[in-house]
């Protein structure tokens, strides 16, 4: 049935009554679950109308939980491949056997992942480009991370100090304090590292120093590239492991799956199918509630797929999420806000941050698309202010008893007043469920090599500087092969092709059916902009040793379904 899309204030009394009945029925199907303390709410059960086709359902389920028989087959296959490997000479080689030739991440080839430059690059173009921030107050940083110029002799450029780098806005840091004291699982050694980076005169980000715990002490040394190479490598693995855990559990599962699903659940509880915003968002949440329900199941119990693999387990995960979600702010879904707050918005001082460069182009294209599409319905700000269904959605999203989303673009009374605010809201959602989420999957294809980004690491780090660690020991404390397979299987859906399962900007023929004339032209214009960005990315990547395709439109899904 094709609905005539229009705003509620433009409806007859009879039409408004019908819309209220539809919303009332939806509220019976879409209910929030607040039972998990410290986490955002989630949907209690997935409505039938949100379930994916059976074929897709099986693919998603296999990506979240690997069947025991398939795990055993994969494990035996890997063990056969590594039987003749000399682990003394090649201690990391067994992990290469997890991948088929076509899926082996490029950083695994020739052990490129061990290079300092590649370690640093992952904070810009890898799976987690949202952690790095500029150091604006070196003295404050040094209170708990007392790194000095003397420690970095031979690492810092000649005649350059840390203060010089900070003054030139060339000093950056990644830290994971949310893991401090979180209980580990699976023999994982929990660290909460701080990693200091600087930008070289060639514009390349490089690591300077790592401290594995937040508070300085005699047993918490600062490590630098001047340390024994194997020790330095082990410390980098610990730092990468911490980043991987926070990224996988919070940045990915919580910020993208949980929160975005809450926005869509709230939309269904307040906006009838005839509302243009409901019609606009619907294809961008195709299968998302089902997928997120599966993700939650993998996280919510000790025997869940993620908890069985990740070094946080359930207890450590609860501590980390609870700390991070306290400071959640919806405004940071806008990449302009995010980059500015982190001090990484200037390409002159932090070049090679291609996620930033591409994301800002996509945001601009998405914002223009949203503006034109919503412009078919909202001709002036008063149309926004008078849309009582839209205002109900805002209330539902903001209410702690419902979606509990903080930082929405509303006034002090919790109301959305202008078309600009509406565009900000919808662009934030659109960008997050498409480009930002797909950047994780695409980044995994390039960087998810287990030794480079492990989800647990069982090595006790040195408690004093100058200690040497054997290379075999560095490798031996990585996840056991069977556990590594389970972890890799959790992101196996990254190999799915968006062109087959829903490419960004592609819609069914009935998209926005019942809208005023102009929808097809607006969508076509958006796709032209996306194609231009895609071509610009290709042109840039031709000049790069490590191409970046994280948010490339032709590798981006139209919704969070994997």
User: What is the rounded CA–CA span in Å between residue 249 and residue 388?
Assistant: 36
Q: What is the pLDDT of residue 63?
A: 53
Classified by CATH at the fold level, domain 8-64+245-456+488-555 comes out as Lipoxygenase-1; domain 5 (1.20.245)
CA 279 to chain centre: 26
Lowest mean pLDDT among 38-42, 166-170, 291-295, 325-329: 291-295
Q: Can you give the pTM of this predicted structure?
A: 0.96
Bridge partner residues of 32 (DSSP): 43
Chain centroid, CA 74 distance in Å: 27
pLDDT per residue as tens digits for the range 170-213: 999 999 999 999 999 999 999 999 999 999 999 999 999 999 99
17-72 per-position pLDDT tens digit: 999 999 999 999 999 999 999 999 999 999 999 998 776 666 666 555 556 667 77
Rounded to a whole number of angstroms, the distance between the first and last alpha carbons of the chain is 29
Residue 1 above 90 pLDDT? Answer: no
Q: How sure is the predictor about 369, in pLDDT bands with cuts at 50, 70 and 90?
A: very high
DSSP character at residue 418? S
The 8-class DSSP code of residue 236 comes to H
Q: Which two tokens stand for residue 258?
A: 């949980």
Task: Report the mean per-residue pLDDT for the chain.
Answer: 93
Domain chopping of the chain, boundaries: 8-64+245-456+488-555, 69-237
Q: Which residues pair with 171 in a beta bridge?
A: 198
Domain 69-237 sits in CATH 3.40.50.1860? no
Burial class (CB in 10 A: 0-12, 13-18, 19+), 392: middle
């Amino acid at each position: 049935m094709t609905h005539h899309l229009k705003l509620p204030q433009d409806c007859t009394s009879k039409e408004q009554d019908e819309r209220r009945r539809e919303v009332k029925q939806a509220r019976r199907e879409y209910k929030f679950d607040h039972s998990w303390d410290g986490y955002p709410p989630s949907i209690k059960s997935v409505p039938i109308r949100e379930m994916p086709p059976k074929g897709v359902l099986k693919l998603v389920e296999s990506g979240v939980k690997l069947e025991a028989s398939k795990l055993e087959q994969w494990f035996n296959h890997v063990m056969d491949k590594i039987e003749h490997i000399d682990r003394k000479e090649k201690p990391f080689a067994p992990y290469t056997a997890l991948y088929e030739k076509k899926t082996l991440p490029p950083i695994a080839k020739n052990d490129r992942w061990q290079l300092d430059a590649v370690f640093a690059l992952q904070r810009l173009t890898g799976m987690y480009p949202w952690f790095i921030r500029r150091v604006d107050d070196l003295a404050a940083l040094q209170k708990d991370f007392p790194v000095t110029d003397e420690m970095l002799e031979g690492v810092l450029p000649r005649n350059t100090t840390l203060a010089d780098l900070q003054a030139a806005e060339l000093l950056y840091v990644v830290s994971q304090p949310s893991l401090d004291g979180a209980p580990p699982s699976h023999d994982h050694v929990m660290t909460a590292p701080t990693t200091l980076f600087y930008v070289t005169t060639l514009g390349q980000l490089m690591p300077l120093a790592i401290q594995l715990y937040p508070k300085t002490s005699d047993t918490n040394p600062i490590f630098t590239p001047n340390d024994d190479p194997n020790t330095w490598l082990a410390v980098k693995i610990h730092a990468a492991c911490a980043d991987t855990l926070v990224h996988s559990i919070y940045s990915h599962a919580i910020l993208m799956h949980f929160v975005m699903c809450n926005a869509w659940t709230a939309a269904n509880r307040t906006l009838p199918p005839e509302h243009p915003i409901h019609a606009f968002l619907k294809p961008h949440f195709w299968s998302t509630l089902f997928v997120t329900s599966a993700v939650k199941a993998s996280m919510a119990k000790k025997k869940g797929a993620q908890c069985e693999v990740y070094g946080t387990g359930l207890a450590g995960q609860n501590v980390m999420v609870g700390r991070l979600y306290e400071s959640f702010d919806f405004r940071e879904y806008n990449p302009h806000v995010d980059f500015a707050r982190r001090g990484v918005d200037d390409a002159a001082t932090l070049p090679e941050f291609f996620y930033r460069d591409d994301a800002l182009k996509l945001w601009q294209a998405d914002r223009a698309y949203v503006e034109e599409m919503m412009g078919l319905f909202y001709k002036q700000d008063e149309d926004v202010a008078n849309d009582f269904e839209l205002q109900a959605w805002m209330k539902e999203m903001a209410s702690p008893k419902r979606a509990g989303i903080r930082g929405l673009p509303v006034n002090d009374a919790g109301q959305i007043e202008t078309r600009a605010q509406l565009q900000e809201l919808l662009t934030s959602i659109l960008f997050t469920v498409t480009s930002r989420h797909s950047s994780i999957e695409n980044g995994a294809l390039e960087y998810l090599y287990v030794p480079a980004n492990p989800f647990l690491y069982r090595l006790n780090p040195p408690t004093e500087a100058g200690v040497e660690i054997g290379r075999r020991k560095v490798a031996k404390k990585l996840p056991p092969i069977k556990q590594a397979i389970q972890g890799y299987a959790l992101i196996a859906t990254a190999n799915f092709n968006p062109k087959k399962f829903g490419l960004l900007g592609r819609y069914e023929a009935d998209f926005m059916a019942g809208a005023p004339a102009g929808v097809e032209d607006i969508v076509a214009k958006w796709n032209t902009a996306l194609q231009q960005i895609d071509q610009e990315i290709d042109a840039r990547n031709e000049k790069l040793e490590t191409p970046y395709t994280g948010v490339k439109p032709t590798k981006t899904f139209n919704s969070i379904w994997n």
